[in-house]
A and B are shown apart, each in its own frame.
Chain A
Amino acid sequence: MSDTGSPPPAVRCTGLEHSFGTTKAVDGVDLEIAPGEVFGLLGPNGAGKTTTIRMITTLLPIPAGEVSVFGLDVARRKMAVRRLIGYVPQQLSADGALTGRENVSLFARLFDVPRAERAEQVRRAIGLVGLLDDADRPAGGYSGGMIRRLELAQALVSSPRLLILDEPTIGLDPVARSAVWERISEIRAETGMTVLVTTHYMDEAEQYCDRVALMHAGRIRALGTPAELEAGLGPDSTLDDVFRSVTGDALAGEAGGMRDVRATRRTARRLG
């Protein structure tokens, strides 16, 4: 990156595109996320949020446009980018056959946390999400909210500079949802890490995100702080109203392909 003067943004996407067959899942996304902010990527199922995230996390190739993470070109510096990212996918991805501690230790090893500090860092990450009492039980016996918190610990043990959460509260009950968000807020306050989160719960975005982007049909339709977006629509508007005005009535109809819905249901089922 040429601009060595000011620190590079945590994430910068320019003209980002991605197609599955003939469907344009992401259709020209421009986005800049400042270091240290909690940024919400909102939109209905099938809006292109997950595809955008998968390009930022190096999981998908970047056929058109550019993505950089802290100034590193994601297409060319995959390994270096992965070192900076903590990623929690939409599905429940902790391994039920392992204990909570084993799940977190694996990620400490994969991110080269030095052997001498490893046990302590693992303990800290588990402590941050409040799972110390259950750390040595197989994760298969955890509740959905506990698994989400365990996944948070897996992503945090490497002290990432960018934490990426794809639908972290999908399928959770309201108590577990706010518990997950409170952990995220605490950790951000403590470490100053940048958080990129996708969600389709407008109330969560309103309460916990510094800035949000509303995505629909592969494009960003609105961008700003929740207050700015609401003020733009008129007095007494909520983020829900903004969302509706941006997406039209698409929310009720075409939202979400078969694959999305199936993935969501599978996650919900595993959460029981």
Chain B
Amino acid sequence: MSVPLAAPPAVSADPGPLAQLRILASRVGAMCLIELQKLRRDQTELLTRAIQPALWLLIFGETFTRLRAIPTGSIPYLDYLAPGILAQSALFIAIFYGIQIIWERDAGVLAKLLVTPTPRAALVAGKAFAAGVRALVQALMVLILSAILGVGLTANPLRLLAMAVVVVLGSAFFCCLSIVIAGVVLSRERLMGIGQAITMPLFFGSNALYPVNLMPGWLKVLSHANPLSYQVDALRGLLIGTPANLGLDFGVLVGASAIAIGVASALLGRLAR
């Protein structure tokens, strides 16, 4: 036991803005790495989570595409639905991510992380990234299944890359929304309840299953305030080439994610009390 530890840190001045930015970037990297290490040991769950979106496509999609009840113009309903299911599967993962934060709070993991020189935003960004990676794994499986079912998907690598970015951004937003709810209600049970209560209107109050112009006026307004609508619009435009407002979609998703990360970071300290 003769090996000495490194010299203890000196009492230092506060770092400048540039150094702070560098610290933020390195901390986000460290938190993302740790989430990847955890996911690596969680492969069964990654796979079983893909069952639900697969069933939506297979059962709901195959039936409704034959019904022709929903007017989707020249494209088959299954094609129209596939990007919606992609967004839905990401939403369903991310919206319960706050449970993990509450678990980490109960286990003391969160308190310990908060006592390290790590900006709160880096801890939140790590979670948002992890939700995005999980969603990407599902997205891949939904895409493979869609291709098997004959959905006319793009093969353009740039479009697929943009799709991946959209999936990560959407997941990041809903993950942070979940952390915000966790920071307000501070209990797993209430978070579960609220999560379930808002998933349904978020999903059905978007353009994931049907065009927005079928909706009554008040719901149309709500669906325009729903980030999921912008995510679906972008995914549909990128994957099956429907007309999409990609600039607006990206703008809304980036803005919403940034705000959500900010609010979630501000509430993180509340969880440690």
Interface residues of A (CB under 8 A from B): 54, 57-60, 70-72, 77, 79-80, 82-85, 87-93, 95, 97-98, 102, 106-107, 109-113, 117, 121, 124-125, 127-128, 138, 154, 156, 158-161, 186, 190-191, 193, 266
Q: Are A93 and B37 in contact (CB under 8 A)?
A: no
| Smallest beta-carbon distance A16→chain B, Å | 16
Q: In the assembled complex, which residues on chain A have CB atoms less than 8 Å from the CB atom of B38?
A: 95, 97-98
Q: In the assembled complex, which residues on chain A have CB atoms less than 8 Å from the CB atom of B273?
A: 54, 59-60
Size class of the contact patch on chain B: 35 or more
Q: Are A82 and B115 in contact (CB under 8 A)?
A: yes
Contact of A124 among B3, B13, B115 (CB under 8 A): B3
Q: In the assembled complex, which residues on chain B have CB atoms less than 8 Å from the CB atom of A97?
A: 37-38, 41-42
| Smallest beta-carbon distance A63→chain B, Å | 12
Please classify the interface of chain B as helix (H, G, I), strand (E, B), loop, or mixed, using the class held by over half of its residues.
Answer: loop
Q: Are A82 and B8 in contact (CB under 8 A)?
A: no
The residue in chain A whose Cβ has the minimal distance to the Cβ of B20 is A79
| Smallest beta-carbon distance A26→chain B, Å | 14
Extra pairs beyond A72-B11, A79-B117 (13, CB < 8 Å)? A71-B11, A83-B12, A85-B115, A91-B108, A93-B109, A95-B38, A98-B37, A102-B37, A107-B116, A112-B26, A156-B5, A161-B9, A190-B4
CA distance A264 to B20 in the complex (A): 37
List the 10 closest pairs (A to B, CB-CB), nearest first: A91-B108, A93-B108, A109-B30, A89-B108, A110-B116, A87-B115, A159-B5, A82-B117, A97-B38, A161-B8
What are 6 A-B contacts defined by CB distance under 8 Å? A84-B11, A87-B112, A95-B34, A107-B116, A109-B26, A111-B116
Given known A-B contacts A83-B12, A191-B4, A138 and B111 have beta carbons under 8 A apart? no
Q: Are A186 and B1 in contact (CB under 8 A)?
A: yes
Q: Are A106 and B14 in contact (CB under 8 A)?
A: no
Q: Are A80 and B30 in contact (CB under 8 A)?
A: no
Given known A-B contacts A82-B117, A110-B117, A191-B8, A102 and B106 have beta carbons under 8 A apart? no
Which of B11, B13, B23 is packed against the most chain A CB atoms within 10 Å?
Answer: B11
B121 on the A face (CB < 8 A): no
Q: Are A91 and B106 in contact (CB under 8 A)?
A: yes
Q: In the assembled complex, which residues on chain A have CB atoms less than 8 Å from the CB atom of B30?
A: 106, 109-110
Given known A-B contacts A82-B116, A83-B12, A98 and B34 have beta carbons under 8 A apart? yes
The residue in chain A whose Cβ has the minimal distance to the Cβ of B5 is A159
Q: Are A110 and B1 in contact (CB under 8 A)?
A: no
Q: In the assembled complex, which residues on chain A have CB atoms less than 8 Å from the CB atom of B37?
A: 97-98, 102
CA distance A125 to B273 in the complex (A): 29
Contact of B118 among A90, A110, A128 (CB under 8 A): A110
Q: Are A89 and B14 in contact (CB under 8 A)?
A: no
CA distance A67 to B47 in the complex (A): 50
Q: Are B8 and A80 in contact (CB under 8 A)?
A: no
Q: In the assembled complex, which residues on chain A have CB atoms less than 8 Å from the CB atom of B109?
A: 93, 95
B144 on the A face (CB < 8 A): no
Contact of A57 among B6, B106, B115 (CB under 8 A): B115
Contact of B106 among A84, A88, A266 (CB under 8 A): A266
Q: Are B5 and A191 in contact (CB under 8 A)?
A: yes
Q: Are A124 and B34 in contact (CB under 8 A)?
A: no
CA distance A110 to B26 in the complex (A): 8
Given known A-B contacts A98-B34, A110-B27, A117 and B117 have beta carbons under 8 A apart? no
CA distance A191 to B2 in the complex (A): 11
Contact of B11 among A70, A92, A121 (CB under 8 A): A70
CA distance A87 to B113 in the complex (A): 9
| Smallest beta-carbon distance A4→chain B, Å | 12
Q: In the assembled complex, which residues on chain B have CB atoms less than 8 Å from the CB atom of A191?
A: 4-5, 8
| Smallest beta-carbon distance B17→chain A, Å | 13
Given known A-B contacts A57-B115, A83-B9, A92 and B34 have beta carbons under 8 A apart? no
Q: Are A159 and B7 in contact (CB under 8 A)?
A: yes
Q: In the assembled complex, which residues on chain A have CB atoms less than 8 Å from the CB atom of B27?
A: 109-110
The residue in chain A whose Cβ has the minimal distance to the Cβ of B119 is A79
Which of B5, B27, B272 is packed against the most chain A CB atoms within 10 Å?
Answer: B5
Q: In the assembled complex, which residues on chain B have CB atoms less than 8 Å from the CB atom of A70?
A: 11
Q: Are A102 and B9 in contact (CB under 8 A)?
A: no
B114 on the A face (CB < 8 A): yes
B107 on the A face (CB < 8 A): yes
Contact of A125 among B5, B7, B33 (CB under 8 A): B5
Contact of A79 among B4, B14, B111, B112 (CB under 8 A): B14
Q: Are B1 and A158 in contact (CB under 8 A)?
A: no
Q: In the assembled complex, which residues on chain A have CB atoms less than 8 Å from the CB atom of B8?
A: 84, 159-161, 191, 193
CA distance A186 to B5 in the complex (A): 12
Q: In the assembled complex, which residues on chain A have CB atoms less than 8 Å from the CB atom of B23?
A: 112
Q: Are B108 and A92 in contact (CB under 8 A)?
A: yes
Q: Are B107 and A91 in contact (CB under 8 A)?
A: yes
